[in-house]
A and B are shown apart, each in its own frame.
Chain A
Amino acid sequence: MKILYGMQRPDEGEIRVNGSPVAFHTPADAIAAGIGMVHQHFMLADNLTVLENVVLGSEPRRAGIALDIAAARKKIKEISDAYGLGVRPDVPVEELGVGDRQRVEILKVLYRGARILILDEPTAVLVPHEVEELFDNLRGLVREGLTILFISHKLDEVLRVADEITVIRRGTTVATVNPKDVTSRKLAELMVGSELPSPETRESTVTDVVALSVRDLTVRTADGRPVVENVSFDIRKGEVLGIAGVEGNGQAELVEAIMGMRPCEVGTLTLGGVDISRWSTLKRRAGGIGYIPEDRHRHGLLLESPLWENRILGHQTRRPNVKGPWIDRAGARADTRRIVEEYDVRTPGIDVDAAALSGGNQQKLIVGREMSGDPVLLIASHPTRGVDVGAQAAIWDHLRTARAAGLAVLLISADLDELIGLSDTLKVILRGRIVADVDPANVTPEQLGSAMTGAGEGV
């Protein structure tokens, strides 16, 4: 998708538009070729009017200098009427609802002459009746001869709106099907893949001691939309609790709420019998929560700091990193060497910047760091994303060992092999709610896939 819009360059292969091969270096090239993108997150200036937003960057000129507002208004009206978008050009964007804003985004790309529209998860921010309106608009656009590339995780929507469906898994095309010939169940199987390994049988290390207890947790976005709703679960010592779900269904928000990075007014969190709902992130970390973040570059590392300073990050209140208010350089450095050794971080030394390591080695450093200091609970968010196979196996081993030693693990992953292979208990999250409990020992991909994508109700 980024490649199609010129934001990234392909390593091989070619793109053809209307039969002729093209090479995009920047989004401007893609726009010139008639490709327009409607981003999941709107890119509109709130305090400008619809008209101003639409013309921004390609303003019609009169006599070379003056803005030709009248011409712009006329053109916007024409496009809006032709495709039935019902956009009012002179309203400030801040007064518009989400659905209207999305139509402004669509109009923006049409105004630039796009004939091929890429819509990235367009329904993620919409409520059901807005989805209906969007689909009506899309059908209108298609009737007028436009091409639409609709990217979505929601199977029922894809089935309803698409003329042809291509399933992509882990970066490769799995199948291209006609929506008339498939059921959502079949589509879910294609998406999830049915080559899941049989979960390895091994002794359960689950104890009766509850490490983390989550009760009725609800997280809302700034505009009050719930992204996590009434989530409750217990993780016992020695248990790996897996959360399965298509990305963007509230997993990230759930993790941030447990870490205290995101305020949650509703619900209680209890760690080892102590109510931690009002604790700061620092106190929660010091209280024994380890955190392997989903995006290691944004949340897990200081890329331009040496490894030993990264060892301190998130553990800056504890030995061996500090003595009172002072950084204990010797202690931190010695412990970084230990992590490098024990977790097989391939690096020439602990003074190189974290950015110089490969993704797998960065991740091993993070895993080693978060396992240090005897955590009670480890939150592992996509712990093996973007790492090579060797590092992946090593990280899995470390998680298993820690679990055997009595660590409670909350595992969030999009990788079903990983979830089924590691979890003792598996819960499925959909639109911010826990919708199913699954036994990882005898779950079928069909069941998991259906539950994850909401194709079938319940298991």
Chain B
Amino acid sequence: MSGRTSEYGGFLDRMLGRVRLGGWLAVAAPVIAVVFAVLITSVVLLAAGKDPVEAFTTLADYGTQPRSMALILNTGVMYYISALAVAVGFRMNLFNIGVDGQYRLAAVVAAGLGGAAVVPGVLNLVLVVVVAVLVGALWSAIAGLLRVYRGVSEVISTIMLNAIATGFGSWLVTEHLGVLTGNDLGTRPIPDDAHMPGIPLIAGSPVLVNGFIVVAVLLGIAYWVVLNRTRFGFELRATGKSESAAVASGVSVKKMIIVTMVMSGAVAGLIGMPELLGASYKYSNNFPAGLGFTGIAIALLGRNSPVGMAVGALLWSFLDNSSNQLQLLDISKEIVQIMQGVVVLSVIVAYELVHRYRLVAEQRRVSRELAAPQQAPKAEAAA
């Protein structure tokens, strides 16, 4: 309204990381944010009559043990894939809130199929992964098609599809795929020969690192290459930055919306795979839920950058895994959730501050480097 922000991309663009920060500024923002989050959490701890130094030391101690490091990596792998799925949409202004439903439905169907062992050995593993990717992509495509052909906001449709996925998934398990083991209703376990082997990545840890860490790293690289080095990625980013400019440049926005939703859903389909093929081997009531929402937070935290999201996923996973340790100090583990929330908020605030600083600095730099006086860019708007 005021014209102060409208010309220059919105706050939303900056929040979703569609605006880049160069040089040391890119490092400054997350550092400021983490420091700020630690400060706020300390205040909360002090207010509760606990010693913040002791709490943080306990967390750090736990996080540096080999066993916990492996656990942190394993959870982090799922968080990271989830963040990637969300980020694909974010880069194009699409809010795929439905990552949660997409991965759970994908996991149910893939688990059912894997448990049936239609094909032997490694083929089964490949089949499970492919089916999960397809189910995630198709479920997400519904929202893309609704958006393109009926103008339904993908935010609304994916939230509703989450609810449908939950119901549909439990129906599949109870009526068709489920077998009762003790009192745990789940899909038939996937046979041993189709398990993803673990990797002894961390010396001295009794827990192996999930083999899907390789897949996650490859996905992160692919994400970066596709977005930054391909024509498709350029069109996707252009559409996210300015839909009108993209249209004028010959980008078919409708096609981009569908393709992006499908890609986001395909990646989402992989989120449950580390758990399914590397830990539980079946889909039951204990299957982790809510990873899609964690992915949204991490994508915001990592500002859609593949490295940033990796750091964010590990930080998040560290906090989640070590929260139980706080109970030894008689500190409620929920303090970790406060910290997670504050980190995300402070990242957004810190980037906003750094962005404003950079904006002014760059314009000043350009006008300084050009001896010619710069006229105000708004002069023409008065017409």
Q: Give the interface of A toward B (CB within 8 A).
A: 2-3, 7-8, 171, 259-261, 280-286, 291, 293, 297-305, 309, 312-314, 316-317, 322, 325-327, 329, 346-348, 351-353, 355-359, 385-386, 388
Contacts and interface: CB of A to CB of B under 8 A. Distances in A.
Interface string B182-193: 000000000000
A42 to B, nearest CB: 18
Contacts of B229: 326-327, 329
A283 B250 CA distance: 8
A333 to B, nearest CB: 13
Interface in B210-243: 228-235, 237-238, 241-242
B230 A300 contact: no
B383 A171 contact: yes
Interface in B155-175: none
A8 B382 contact: yes
Contacts of B232: 325
Contacts of B241: 302-305
A297 B381 CA distance: 11
Nearest to B376: A358
A291 B234 contact: no
Interface of B: 1, 3, 7-9, 13, 18-20, 22, 228-235, 237-238, 241-242, 244-245, 247-252, 362-363, 365-366, 369-370, 372, 374-375, 377, 379-383
Contact of B366 (A2, A317, A356, A386): A356
Given A327-B231, A358-B374, A359-B379, A303 B9 contact: yes
Contacts of A386: 379-380, 383
Given A325-B231, A326-B229, A358-B375, A303 B242 contact: yes
B381 A347 contact: no
B9 A298 contact: no
A304 B9 contact: yes
Contact of A8 (B7, B228, B248, B381): B381
Given A316-B235, A346-B372, A352-B366, A300 B245 contact: yes
A299 B248 CA distance: 6
A301 B237 CA distance: 13
B248 A261 contact: yes
Give the one of B13, B231, B250, B362 with max A CB within 10 A. B250
Contact of A281 (B19, B247, B380): B247
22 contacts: A7-B3, A8-B381, A261-B248, A283-B250, A285-B249, A297-B7, A299-B244, A299-B248, A300-B245, A301-B245, A302-B241, A304-B241, A309-B234, A325-B231, A326-B230, A327-B233, A347-B370, A348-B366, A351-B22, A356-B363, A359-B380, A386-B379
A388 B375 contact: yes
A2 B22 CA distance: 36
Nearest to A360: B375
A359 B230 CA distance: 29
A314 B22 CA distance: 25
Contacts of A325: 230-232
A352 B362 contact: yes
A385 B47 CA distance: 60
B7 A327 contact: no
Contacts of B251: 282, 316
B269 to A, nearest CB: 23
Nearest to B255: A280
Contacts of A281: 247-250
Contacts of A260: 250
A243 B19 CA distance: 38
B227 to A, nearest CB: 10
B234 A346 contact: no
B9 A327 contact: no
A106 B365 CA distance: 48
A291 B244 CA distance: 14
A309 B249 CA distance: 13
Contact of B245 (A298, A327, A352, A359): A298
Contacts of B237: 305
Nearest to B373: A358
A327 B379 CA distance: 35
A304 B8 contact: yes
Nearest to A356: B366
A316 B249 CA distance: 8
A279 B137 CA distance: 30
A25 to B, nearest CB: 10
A302 B242 contact: yes
A298 B247 CA distance: 10
A353 B377 contact: no
Nearest to B368: A348
A304 B382 contact: no
A2 B378 CA distance: 13
B228 to A, nearest CB: 8
A284 B363 CA distance: 35
A348 B238 contact: no
B249 A298 contact: no
B382 A171 contact: yes
Contacts of B9: 303-304
A303 B231 CA distance: 19
Nearest to A355: B8
Contact of B377 (A8, A304, A326, A358): A358
A317 B248 contact: no
A259 B248 contact: yes
Given A2-B382, A171-B383, A326-B230, A314 B249 contact: yes
Nearest to B7: A297
A410 to B, nearest CB: 15
B244 to A, nearest CB: 4
A326 B231 CA distance: 6
A184 B235 CA distance: 49
Nearest to A357: B366
A386 B370 CA distance: 20
Contacts of B370: 346-348
A351 B366 CA distance: 11
A326 B375 CA distance: 37
